[in-house]
Amino acid sequence: MKYLIFAMVLIWAMTPLAEAGYQEATDAFDKGDSLTALKEFQSLADDNDASGQYGLGIMHDLGEGVSQSSEQAAKWYQLSAEQGHADAQNNLGVMYEEGEGVPRNYDEAMRWYRRAAESGNKDAPNNMGVIYMSGVGAIKDPVKAYMWFSVAGKVDPAAISNKKFLLKRLTPDELARAKNMAQEWLKIRDQKNKN
């Protein structure tokens, strides 16, 4: 029992250190200090920190401070996404949708977009909506597309534009179904996030 308490105290004490390391890494990245950003993100990733893994994914994705490598980006996004990092989940979905660093796989893209949306990522609902609207990667379904654009809400200009585009093409019944589906999905997501 005392080892469990010690482990919990150690984890609690290390959390601010990890957050400080991530902030230092992102500050360095934003200033163009790729060497410091890489060192800090790598240190965090070595400790299995999802934010550090995500940071390495971004660096490899953009080729900032490292050689651009979609394969390495996908690897780091995957590690972070599996721990529940919403932005990594969305980025991994993009990589599967585009076939960058991983084989193109729309089912995997949709799976990661859904997980990202459930985790609160703001881009994932629009990404799913576009797939349903275009019919590329899933059966074309304007009702589901409108639903996902509605889930994206008022914070995503692309989703707002896409929603307006579909609004003119849906029947009143389809529109009502899409709105109900969005409200139900948001209610379920919010309930899960409370628990």
Residue 61 pLDDT > 90: yes
Separation of CA 52 from chain center: 15
Residue 8 pLDDT > 60: no
Does residue 103 lie in a domain region?
no
Q: What is the pLDDT of residues 21-46, one digit of tens each?
A: 889 999 999 999 999 999 999 999 99
Token pair in block for residue 55: 């940071």
Least confident window among 1-15, 18-32, 37-51, 98-112 = 1-15
Does residue 115 lie in a domain region?
no
Which residues have a Cβ under 8 Å from the Cβ of 80 and sit 6 or more positions away?
50, 51, 53, 54, 57, 88
Q: How far is CA 142 from CA 1, 30, 80, 81, 83, in A?
A: 55, 39, 32, 28, 32
Does residue 161 lie in a domain region?
yes
* Domain range for 155: 125-195
Does residue 146 lie in a domain region?
yes
Q: How many domains does the chain have?
A: 1
Token pair in block for residue 184: 């139900």
pLDDT at position 155 is 84
Separation of CA 188 from chain center: 19
Does residue 165 lie in a domain region?
yes
Give the span between the Cα atoms of 150 and 152, in whole angstroms.
5
pLDDT tier at 19, thresholds 50, 70, 90: low
pLDDT at position 154 is 85
Does residue 51 lie in a domain region?
no
Taking alpha carbons only, the member of 107, 119, 182 closest to residue 152 is: 182
Does residue 8 lie in a domain region?
no
Does residue 66 lie in a domain region?
no
What does pTM read for this prediction?
0.86
pLDDT at position 84 is 96
pLDDT > 90 fraction of the chain, expressed in percent and rounded: 83
